[in-house]
Amino acid sequence: MSTLEGFEKAKMIAEMQQLLGSEVKDLEEGFVHYLYNTLGRNVNSDAYYQFKALSYTVRDRLMHHWKKTWHAYNEGDIKKAYYLSMEFLIGRSLTNNLLNLGVETQTEKAMYDLGLSLEEIEDAERDAGLGNGGLGRLAACFMDSCATLQLPVMGYGLRYEYGMFKQRIQEGFQIEEPDHWLGFGNYPWEIQRSEYTRVVRFGGQTRMFTDPHTSKLSSLWENTSDVIAVPFDVPIPGFKNETVNTLRLWSAAAVEDFDLTQFNAGSYFEAVSDKSAAENITMVLYPNDTSENGKELRLRQQYFLVSASLQDVVCQWHHKYNGDFTNFAQYNVFQLNDTHPSLAVAELMRILLDDYFMEWTKAWEIVSSCMAYTNHTLLPEALERWSVPLFEKLLPRPLEIIYEINHRFLKQVAMKWPGDQNKLRQMSIIDEHNHVCMAYLAIVGSFSVNGVAALHSQLLKDGLFNDFYRLWPNRFNNKTNGVTQRRWMASSNPGLRALLKSKIGEEWITDLSQLSKIEDFVHDKEFRRSWMKVKRENKKRLAQLVKKTTGVDFPEDSLFDVQVKRIHEYKRQLLNVLHVIHLYSSIKRGQVDNWTNRCVIIGGKAAPGYAMAKNIIKLVNNVADIVNNDPDVGNKLKVAFIPNYRVSAMEIICPGTDVSEQISTAGKEASGTGNMKFMMNGAVTIGTLDGANVEILEAVGEENFFLFGLKTPEVEEMRHHYNPHHFIDSDEDLRAVLGLLESGHFNQFEPGIFNDIISSIKSSNDPWMTLADFRSYIDTQKAIGLAFQDHERWNTMSIINSARSGVFSTDRTMMEYNRDIWKLTPIAHNAK
Ligand code: 26V
């Protein structure tokens, strides 16, 4: 380096330090300012107020860019996409926003200078638990990727007062407690925009009348009970790119605080209860992610979301283009996150027909070319159907429109399959039990229908939606899910981030395919050692979480075997428990040759009304209790049920995991996304050929994946003659496991409590066919144990899993949605 170059470099570093220094000072000042002046607290106040003050300080750095982004999207003719979702499982925001703003180091320093720990402050933030699981978290990852890709996408959702319930474990049972997360306010991560308030109508009747403008017969929806929708905007910053997108969450309020006529007439109670009926709409997230359809309040929630959001978009359009809707579909696209917002099809028709007096065919042309539907499940019990009488009572006008959509659609069916009455019956949006089938409404009204992993999309075409596929083959496509590496690697795994930085730089943060470069170091001794060390540190962190939440000690050199997800029979936590019991019984019988010490974590919430799932939690806890307290077992096996599994827990769990359990019955898990988080962080998967596991296996190769179990066609074939006793009779280990379970060994003072579980897996009607996969699962787990003993081999598998996870970034997923469905132009605005 020449003297001049050296001088230039030194100058640059000095300038940089100064810049950093001034940012540190600004952050400190901002923090102290908000703490004193806005929150009225001292620097030494509770970490919660420190978190609020720091968040205000951070938000200041977003506001200007947020405004600029908003204007860039609304000036000129720019196509926009709207992601309509009943769930956005955001988790915490502070850490993420610091990362995307690129000020983590400065903030850490600023807090350090004030004698505070950034980590403790970050830990004081409550999760925004506005979702159940996969579908809700996916929406949040999508928002992050769209902002990073500078795509003009806006999220629309509901601002639930109570998020996903908190799970406590008492004597092994799940206890649900309300999560009143808004009790402390979501400021400063939301801004109320009362100026964009909308009115949503419910109930009443429709009446035919002759429209004086057009002399045509039209329908009037009258005597409705109205509810106000108040929007709260949440900033979604892209990664270091000055884009800040918007997530708009609606909150329900009464039209007037009291109905004064009722109040004056002395009906105080009725007046106030009307108000609370209105506000009830956004009071609580429905916590069951598969069943319990048909609840009136849920239908109200769905219509409330859809109507407020569509009015929002259409009113802005109307205003900007003086009521000319010619190009509406060219500039607006709505992505429906499952069928939950599929009323959008009927509601956009209603707005165009009734509010803007458009002709049916013209309106239908617009609607059916700007709606796109994503399916997230094949389970029949999760497919939404609403009873017509309920629909009629709550939404008489949208129902009329659905009848007309169906009438015209069935004419098309009759043209395609002349004289085929069965087809008409099978495909009708109104089914034979007088229910509105929301999936069919969504398909009929959309130009795109996609599944969320290759296998899942194929199964939709072959099975569930086969008739529709034959009618409109071009509508169907696949968009394999992903996760955002910014939250799930860069911010939750700082050790890994530092190691990657030293080897391949930081481009992977916005281009995950770059991760493949670490394969160049797979034989590099020093790199391999560092990789192991990072995993070891992360396991330490996870062991601390386990200790803190369950009291169980996890030795860090054991194999950390993890299954965290919603508790559901199809996900087969039971198969995992059977394996644990098998290990325990092997230890008790002294069969411990070549033993690998193992720590098993299971975590997840059961829907409050799902008795079997709750019982599975109880079983895990009882087994854990026996295993952990048996002196014969010692460190050979530890079992912990992590309570209250949520986004912020997963941020600690996935970096510390060795084995990722993805063991659903083949053909049942649409995609899975936890599988991707684990893989990125260097865990090895034990999995069935289901959902996105198929693509994970394809990426890493069979030598880096532990595949087991029946394939989808084998499951379907065996279903006809499934006989669990055949497996029990021919498998000594299985008999030992069931023998222990049936003997009451795990429920000595609670007789009979696991009878339902036992009879379900022994039934020839077990839809999940758990016992059919027992042998294959046990053998594969054995192979895992042996592989783990070979530290070098395991390390290689770990590195390769992470190196080949590039395709599972939601950046890739969003690029595909954009390329095939949305066709938006990225907008890089000049924030100056
Ligand atoms: C259904 C219902 C029905 C009744 C009330 C509340 C409620 C809430 C959610 C749902 C649908 C759940 C579907 C779902 O979460 N699917 C998951 O989607 C993930 C993202 O695509 C995917 O990775 C998982 O495999 C899939 O199970």
Other Cβ atoms less than 10 A from the Cβ of 181: the count is 19
Q: Quick one: pLDDT at residue 382?
A: 83
Residue 503 annotated to the active site? no
Question: Is 425 designated active site?
Answer: no
Kindly give the number of the ligand 1 atom that is closest to the alpha carbon of 338. 11
- Residue 84 CA to ligand 1 centre (angstroms): 14
Taking residues 141-156, report their average pLDDT.
98
Ligand 1, atom nearest to 672 Cα? 23
Residue 673 CA, closest ligand 1 atom number: 23
Alpha-carbon distance of 499 to 537, in angstroms, equals: 13
Domain locations in the chain as residue ranges: 22-76+98-126, 77-92+127-479, 535-817
Which residues sit with their C-beta closer than 6 Å to ligand 1?
132-135, 138, 286, 288-290, 292-293, 298, 338, 376-377, 382, 452, 481, 669-673, 691
Across 642-651, average pLDDT: 98
**Nearest residue CA, atom 23 of ligand 1?**
672
Q: Which of 282, 673, 770, 780 is catalytic?
A: 673
Supply the pLDDT for residue 467: 98
Closest CA to 612 of 384, 387, 381: 381
What's the whole-model pTM score?
0.96
Nearest residue (CA) to ligand 1, atom 20: 135
Active site residue 25: no
487, 566, 572, 605: the catalytic one is 566
338 CA from centroid of ligand 1 (Å) = 8
Whether residue 2 has pLDDT greater than 70: no
Question: Is 579 within 8 Å of 781 (Cβ atoms)?
Answer: yes
Q: How far is the CA of 810 from the centre of ligand 1 (A)?
A: 18
Ligand 1 centroid–CA 339 distance in Å is 10
Instruction: Summarize pLDDT for 431-480 with one digit per residue, the tens.
Output: 999 999 999 999 999 999 999 999 999 999 999 999 999 999 999 999 99
Residue 606 pLDDT > 90, yes or no?
yes
Residue 826 predicted with pLDDT over 70: yes
Point out the ligand 1 atom lying closest to the alpha carbon of residue 287: 6
Please tell me the residue having the least CA distance from ligand 1 atom 18: 135
**289 Cα: distance to centroid of ligand 1 (angstroms):** 5
Separation of alpha carbons 85 and 45, rounded Å: 37
- The yes-or-no verdict on residue 259 having pLDDT over 80 is no
Of all protein residues, the one whose alpha carbon is nearest to atom 15 of ligand 1 is: 135
Q: How far is the CA of 673 from the centre of ligand 1 (A)?
A: 12
Sign of CA dihedral 461, 466, 469, 475: negative
Among 132, 298, 695, 696, name the best residue to mutate to test ligand 1's pocket (greatest count of ligand atoms within 8 A of Cβ): 132
**Known active-site residue 673:** yes
Q: Which two tokens stand for residue 425?
A: 């019956």
The rounded Å distance from CA 599 to ligand 1 centre is: 29
- Whether 813 sits among the annotated catalytic residues: the reply is no
Please, what is the average pLDDT of the chain?
A: 95
The residue whose C-alpha atom lies closest to atom 2 belonging to ligand 1 is 289
> Catalytic: which of 80, 166, 385, 565?
565
Buried b or exposed e, range 119-156, using 16+ CB within 10 angstroms: eebbebbbbbbbbbbbbbbbbbbbbbbbbbbbbbbbbb
Residue 70's pLDDT is 96
- Rounded to the nearest angstrom, the distance between the alpha carbon of 382 and the centre of ligand 1 is 8
- Reply yes or no on whether 571 is catalytic: yes
Looking at the CA of residue 286, tell me the nearest atom of ligand 1. Answer: 6
Q: Residue 607: its pLDDT value, please?
A: 96
- Yes or no: say if 598 and 714 are a contact pair by the CB < 8 Å rule: no
Neighbour-count burial of 15, counting CB atoms closer than 10 A to its CB (0-12 exposed, 13-18 middle, 19+ buried): exposed
At residue 327, the pLDDT reads 98
From 80, 677, 804, 812, active-site residue: 677
What would the pLDDT profile of 188-201 be if each residue is shown by its tens digit?
Answer: 999 999 999 999 99
Q: What is the distance between the alpha carbons of residues 777 and 707, in angstroms, rounded to a whole number?
A: 9
Catalytic residue among 61, 340, 376, 579: 376
SS3 830: coil
pLDDT surpasses 70 at 782: yes
Residue 83 host element (H or E): strand 80-84
Whether residue 129 contacts residue 181, with contact meaning beta carbons closer than 8 Å, is answered with yes
User: What Rg value do the Cα atoms of the chain yield, rounded?
Assistant: 28
> Rounded to the nearest whole angstrom, what is the distance from the C-alpha of residue 557 to the centroid of ligand 1?
36
Average the pLDDT over each of 12-26, 30-44, 141-155, 635-649 and give the range with the smallest value: 12-26
User: 535-817 is classed in which CATH architecture?
Assistant: 3-Layer(aba) Sandwich (3.40)
Predicted local distance difference test score (pLDDT) of residue 213? 73
The whole-number average pLDDT for the span 280-286 is 95
Which ranges in 75-126 belong to alpha helices (H)? 94-101, 104-113, 118-123
Residue 721, judged by CB atoms within 10 A of its CB (0-12, 13-18, 19+), counts as exposed
Query: Which residue CA neighbors atom 10 of ligand 1 most closely?
Result: 289
Which of the residues 198, 487, 528, 571 is marked catalytic?
Answer: 571
In this chain, the answer to whether the domains covering 77-92+127-479 and 535-817 adopt an identical fold is yes
Which superfamily does CATH assign the domain made up of 77-92+127-479 to? Glycogen Phosphorylase B; (3.40.50.2000)
